[in-house]
Chain A
Amino acid sequence: MGPLNVSNAAGRPEPGATRGPTEALDAARPAPPRGPAPPRFGHGYHRQVTKNIPAIAVEGLRKRYGEVRAVDGVTFEVAHGEFYGILGPNGAGKTTTLELVEGLREPDEGSARLLGQPSWPRDPGLLRRIGVQLQASAFFEKLTAREQIHTFAALYGVSSRRADEMLETVGLTEKAGTRDDKLSGGQAQRLSIACALVHDPELVFLDEPTTGLDPQARRNLWDLLREINAQGRTVVLTTHYLDEAEILCDRVAIMDAGRILRVGAPSELIAELGVGNLEDVFLQLTGREYRE
């Protein structure tokens, strides 16, 4: 499936295989192994944290819908170049948190600063520096992949040539003339990521980018996401797949009922709770009852 089909060729073990917690992580990451005591923000020594201000600084965010406290006092920070995961069961408040942080909604209380600037009220100068992939693919109707990304490029004042390069990066050059409704799930996700990245943002938000993809498409997308992160961009991701978070994220925040229950590197959390993998951590923290 295009130039990104390298993950299995590189001989990485499947995340579900029998393994020790950290061993699997290290093997699966292209980055060098983690140190035993990761610093608070970002831990890969390959990352250049050049700025003192964090990429994201969220403080005391609250959002109520009627009686429901969708987000109930969320505070966290994400360092420059970090790959940060927000995890939680359905209805935990992940998407609302992300939307508050992105500046799509006005928080009832608290604030979110992106790259040092508040995300609410809307600030076009800041919007130029962030890239957002929304949960449902936000495509214009009846346009081909190339027309979609050219339209988004124009919204950001980016050249068509750059848009075509981005299409190449996500391996969709061959599908450039295909309309959005004729793309497969994986292709549509890659296109929507390409549209989020077309203006070369410093900070990227991805809301469940791998939902509904087959294992091949998922792994291809992981490679793409790692690449994005390896270029020095800060990436924030929500996902339901704990294996994915374990493999991709430097740190994760586990949410439930509108609050953050725990933040830390996946390996740290696994060690702390003395369980087998991140999914066990998740279940131990959020319980096993059905949600929604």
Chain B
Amino acid sequence: MSAFRSLSLAMLKGLLRDRTASFFTLVFPLMFLLLFGALFQNDSVSRSHVLQFGEVAVLDEMPADQRRDLSEALNVEQVRDRDEALARVSDGDADAVVWQDEDGRIELRYSAADATRAGTVQGLMQSLVQSANLAETGQPPAFELASDQVEDKSIKPIQYLAPGLLGWAIAMGASFMSAFTLVNWRKKRILRRLWLAPISPGTVIGARIGVSLGMAFLQTALFLGVATIPFYGLRLTGFWWLAIPLVACGTLAFMSVGLVIGAWAKTDEAANAALQLVIMPMAFLSGSFFPLDSSPDWVRAISNAMPLKHLNEAVQGVLTRGEGWGAALPAMGGLLLFAAVLTAVAARLFRWDDT
């Protein structure tokens, strides 16, 4: 057996036999997907519950096919009492009330308690009204465009949950594995021992990267496998396979995070604490668990500095939004650059021994 294969095998066995490590890198993120996917399944952000009082032309006079499209995003309920309807909205029971004035103006009342929901309802009604206005002018293509927008709004949670949680899983797996390998191999003097074996550093580094990439691809396969079952209902778009090189670049980027922490930390515990402090906030700020569309500007500014945010966005783009190389290449370049910079930092911090 070659040195490369044998080292890879040793690392792989070490990882798989470490139950805690394999649970946290493989099973734990998948559990989040299973759980979140099920929790949010019928609670699509865009399927809003709107109460309609009286006649509202744009809703009532909608063609049947458009109504069907709309029903994916909007659930309209007819009510007889406007005050009661308003009370239900302020209770959070419904998302908005809509009615039409005598002079034709459409009135929408929503609660600011759920900003995301309020935004969605407003956007939907806005686009409906504009579609109707455009229809009045007799320009069919513009009407078609508006109808597409309605469809686009009905993103299922799985469409951002699967890429977001996958990104988080990749970030955790790659960074924890490389940090722990570095700390343990230094502590157990395996680094020294390998220095004294007639193999090139490239073999050791290559084996380490190979194992991490293998694990990341396995995770990607598990995630996509789970997300695309009908129960979760993720539909992959044309360039979904671009997720593979994206995941590879993400793995390298987060391995470099692990290398910096592993080079700095003296013990497993210190490395673990530092990784948690870095990875968890980064995952939240990168929209791994929930979308950041409605978050304040300063949060989004921080978010833009996170490599995971760009990985998540690009993976979501190619997996579910039909985006292609245009979305993948800038993210891949950025992740590789990030990896190069952090690896250089890790090389500066690197020590052979703890002493």
Contact = CB atoms under 8 A, between A and B. Distances in A.
A151 interface: yes
A152 B192 CA distance: 13
A80 B352 CA distance: 31
Contact of A141 (B18, B189, B192): B18
Contacts of A155: 3, 6-7, 194, 197-199
Interface stretch (B9-17, B292-300, B324-332): B9-17
A238 B188 CA distance: 19
Interface residues of B, number: 27
A107 B42 CA distance: 68
B190 interface: yes
B3 A138 contact: no
Interface residues of A, number: 29
Given A140-B14, A142-B13, A142-B18, A156 B196 contact: no
A141 B3 CA distance: 17
B204 to A, nearest CB: 9
Contacts of A139: 188, 190
Interface string A215-241: 000000000000000000000000000
A142 B17 CA distance: 6
Contacts of B40: none
Interface in A115-145: 122, 124-125, 127-128, 130, 132, 134-143
A160 interface: yes
A269 B195 CA distance: 36
A150 B6 CA distance: 8
Contacts of A136: 188-189
Given A138-B192, A147-B13, A154 B18 contact: no
Contacts of B198: 124-125, 127-128, 155-156
B199 A124 contact: yes
Contacts of A150: 1, 6
A143 B197 contact: no
A139 B190 CA distance: 7
Contacts of B193: 132, 134, 138
Nearest to B191: A138
A140 B17 contact: no
A103 interface: yes
Contacts of B68: none
Interface in A17-35: none
Interface of B: 1-3, 5-7, 9-11, 13-14, 17-18, 184, 188-190, 192-200, 352
Given A143-B14, A154-B6, A156-B198, 11 more contacts: A102-B196, A104-B195, A104-B196, A134-B189, A137-B188, A140-B14, A143-B10, A151-B7, A151-B10, A154-B7, A155-B7
22 contacts: A103-B196, A132-B196, A134-B192, A138-B188, A139-B188, A139-B190, A140-B11, A140-B14, A141-B184, A142-B14, A142-B18, A147-B13, A150-B1, A151-B6, A151-B7, A151-B9, A154-B2, A154-B5, A155-B197, A155-B198, A156-B198, A157-B3
